[in-house]
Structure 1
Amino acid sequence: MAKILADHAGSMFTVTELAKMLGHSGGAVGNACDTLVCRGEAERAGSNPRMYRATSQTAAAAQATAVSAPGPSQPAPVPRSRPTPQPATAAPPPGGRPQPITRPNGQQYHPRALAQLPDVEALRRLREAGVAVLLYGPPGTGKTSLIEAAFPDLITVAGDGDTTVGDLIGEYTQDASGGYEFVYGPLVTAMQEGRALLLDDATLISPKVLAALYPAMDGRRQIQVKAHKGEAITATDGFYVIAGHNPGVHGAVLTEALASRFSVQIQVGSDYDLAASLKINRTAVRVARHLATGQQAGEVGWAPQLRELIAFQKIADVLGTEAAFANLVGVAPLEDRDVVAEIVTKALGRPVTALALGRQL
């Protein structure tokens, strides 16, 4: 694939075009393209459809791996007009540390180690192999950030106790003329387009609702849309389901039926070393580490995660460090607030209470 892109530098190709030229499935080709992008050996130039083109490092990647170039019977497609470029990923040095990956919201994700690979690449390999993954850990540890960085074609379902089968598969909706038309849900869209589907907070969704998803995840890779004349939907290559689970959230239940669908289950905790490298207040990071240790020992039920620490620094930049520490105490659950206040007080050497309004000015 790298050779095709390098041989047609400046041209852009869709996943479908590359799949036809290489004779592989669209899912495998899409994952390979994203891996090249992660390494800085290709550039994603469009999102609908996904399009890719060569970078300055693509030719070197092509030389390192023997790849069959398109023959005379497989002429290269006519280059497309150039769309607005997507946020680029910084190219890593060959064999060097993986560079941050820009997520759809513009924020950067810093890859972490997983099975001696960058976590992003590990997830892409599992997708290519058709192995479903469940990420579990406290809110704010970066589960969703990792998944967004790994799969640019991601569709997300925010699960809760009110999620219905219609929210997954689709339902009839009134159109502009006053009639009704069936609008496919995210599950059907992901199946038809060969995209990744994230069930965020999957364990908050009713087991009866999740049961509608299971046939798409097993060998059948097919579901029946009973509400739409019993239509059968078969998953296209590339379709993949990944889920997030927050064990400490009230109502989150990992049933045996759900757990059995996810062969790989990965614990995700906060990367406090990353927090320090992001220039977050060192005392705040030290407090978070202390609370995390106490949480593991069962001494406290809450510890600030990376999300809270990033918010801490933003608050400190706007309102000052004192207010940020006071807010850190205030965002702790009520049952843990006294312990958090005591630890923050010891760290700062002065009393700290929850952020609150003072007297009238």
Structure 2
Amino acid sequence: MASPVESAEGSALRGFLAEEMGEELKVGREPAGEGNEDCKRRHYTRPNGEVYVGRSVPRNEAGVRDDVELFRALREVRIFPRLLSAPGTGKTSAIEASFGSELITVVCAEGTDEDTLVGGYRPRPDWEWVDGLVTKALREDRPLLLDEFAAAHPRVQSRLNGVFDGRLELVLSERDGEVVRAGRKFWAAVAYNPGPELQLSAAMESRFSLPIRYRTDYRVAREIGVPDRVVRLAKRLERMVGAGEASWSPQMRELVAFRRHAELLGERWAVGALVGAAPEGCEEEVAAACAEVFRDVPARPLEL
């Protein structure tokens, strides 16, 4: 799926991906590399105005320093990635920071239908055709994020096979077979949390051939003002999850929420909100870990 004419930088990027990355690229905790330390401090702005701190990637000859630069470079050579991780690690934020208001995002769910993605006729007032979001991205030559795409029904996923393979086109059977073809700047990524019941179809997985796993970057958390004690708590719970002693650990989303709650309402409220945010069945283990780290604050859900 390369561009017709590929730059030297694009060739170097492909070489990096093919030779150095292995089966899965991990972003978020790799050292920036000699001469590349400034990438830990590269800040970008999301469409909602929030700051996103770029995640470091392994050093490479393509000169890509962080995940935002990586996604922009992948667009140039039309490589479609799939972003994997638990909710709240920053997958969506990274793509938003990479492309800003140009990005089209579809948040998928089990009930996401072809009308949402492809389009359909609407009675306004005389059964007018309205493009779906994937069709819109194709027509307007824009980047596309299919968030939680694995939750969409396999039949819905398969309808888009031609968009993401060498054809780069969508046939609208509903409109007498109209063919919508991708322009040079069209690009797509999928993001999801893989699990037994949330998987891409094999055909779709082969089209999004670059797996990138996101992890919460605790250095970034500290840099954006997350208190050190809750960072220590998150790392402790992460180790417990790895050892089979816990089932959940807070990710970047929960850490940022803790910072905001603490700034507005105080640490007691922030700890209570964090314990309350734990998934059902995990509250006791999270409360016990909080009690170890926050000895001067009650470790229990907020109650009014």
**Same fold, TM exceeding 0.5?**
yes
Deviation at 1:96, TM superposition (A): 7.1
| 3-state secondary structure, aligned to 1:334 | coil
Change (3 A) 1:326 1:28: farther
Residue matched to 2:29: none
**1:334 aligned residue (255, 280, 291):** 280
Counterparts of 1:299 and 1:287 in 2: how far apart (Å)? 14
Counterparts of 1:96 and 1:189 in 2: how far apart (Å)? 39
Query: Contact 1:190–1:197 (CA<8 Å) still a contact in 2?
Result: yes
**1:317 aligned residue (263, 286, 302):** 263
Residue matched to 2:289: 343
2:207 counterpart letter in structure 1:
R
Query: Contact 1:26–1:237 (CA<8 Å) still a contact in 2?
Result: no
Residue matched to 1:139: 87
Query: Contact 1:28–1:238 (CA<8 Å) still a contact in 2?
Result: no
1:338 counterpart letter in structure 2:
E
Deviation at 1:251, TM superposition (A): 4.1
Deviation at 1:213, TM superposition (A): 1.1
Counterparts of 2:131 and 2:4 in 1: how far apart (Å)? 22
Deviation at 1:104, TM superposition (A): 0.6
1:113 counterpart letter in structure 2:
S
* CA RMSD between the two structures: 2.3
Equivalent runs, 1:162-173 vs 2, <5 Å:
162-173=111-122
Counterparts of 2:135 and 2:112 in 1: how far apart (Å)? 16
Change (3 A) 1:287 1:186: same
Q: How many residues end up aligned between the 2 structures?
A: 268
Deviation at 1:127, TM superposition (A): 1.7
Equivalent runs, 1:99-118 vs 2, <5 Å:
99-116=42-59, 117-118=65-66
Residue matched to 1:80: none
Query: Contact 1:275–1:285 (CA<8 Å) still a contact in 2?
Result: yes
- For residues 254-295 of structure 1, the C-alpha deviation after alignment (integer angstroms, 9 at most, x for no partner) is 332222111110000111111112222211111011111112
- For residues 30-75 of structure 1, the C-alpha deviation after alignment (integer angstroms, 9 at most, x for no partner) is xx9xxxxxxxxxxxxxxxxxxxxxxxxxxxxxxxxxxxxxxxxxxx
Residue matched to 2:203: 257
Q: Does 1:97 align with 2:46?
A: no
**1:179 aligned residue (126, 144, 151):** 126
- For residues 287-326 of structure 1, the C-alpha deviation after alignment (integer angstroms, 9 at most, x for no partner) is 0111111122222111111111111111112221011111
Which stretches of structure 1, 4 residues or longer, exceed 4 Å deviation after superposition? 25-29
Residue matched to 1:203: 150
Query: Contact 2:141–2:185 (CA<8 Å) still a contact in 1?
Result: yes
Return the index of the structure with the highest Cα Rg: 1
| 3-state secondary structure, aligned to 1:179 | coil
Query: Contact 2:241–2:248 (CA<8 Å) still a contact in 1?
Result: yes
Counterparts of 1:28 and 1:321 in 2: how far apart (Å)? 52
Query: Contact 2:161–2:203 (CA<8 Å) still a contact in 1?
Result: no
Deviation at 1:334, TM superposition (A): 2.2
| 3-state secondary structure, aligned to 2:159 | coil
- For residues 165-186 of structure 1, the C-alpha deviation after alignment (integer angstroms, 9 at most, x for no partner) is 11111111122xx311101111
Counterparts of 1:27 and 1:102 in 2: how far apart (Å)? 31
Counterparts of 1:296 and 1:214 in 2: how far apart (Å)? 36
Counterparts of 1:101 and 1:26 in 2: how far apart (Å)? 30
Query: Contact 1:27–1:128 (CA<8 Å) still a contact in 2?
Result: no
| 3-state secondary structure, aligned to 1:197 | strand
Counterparts of 2:206 and 2:84 in 1: how far apart (Å)? 15
Deviation at 1:240, TM superposition (A): 1.1
Counterparts of 1:275 and 1:263 in 2: how far apart (Å)? 29
Counterparts of 2:47 and 2:176 in 1: how far apart (Å)? 36
Deviation at 1:27, TM superposition (A): 11
| 3-state secondary structure, aligned to 2:245 | coil
Change (3 A) 1:135 1:27: farther
Counterparts of 2:197 and 2:270 in 1: how far apart (Å)? 30
Deviation at 1:162, TM superposition (A): 0.5
> Given the two structures, how large is their TM-score scaled by the length of structure 2?
0.82
Higher relative CO (Cα under 8 Å, sequence separation at least 6) belongs to 2
| 3-state secondary structure, aligned to 1:266 | strand
Counterparts of 2:266 and 2:36 in 1: how far apart (Å)? 41
Change (3 A) 1:26 1:192: farther
**Structure 1: which 5+ residue stretches go unaligned?**
1-24, 33-93
1:97 counterpart letter in structure 2:
D
1:270 counterpart letter in structure 2:
T
Q: Does 1:234 align with 2:181?
A: yes
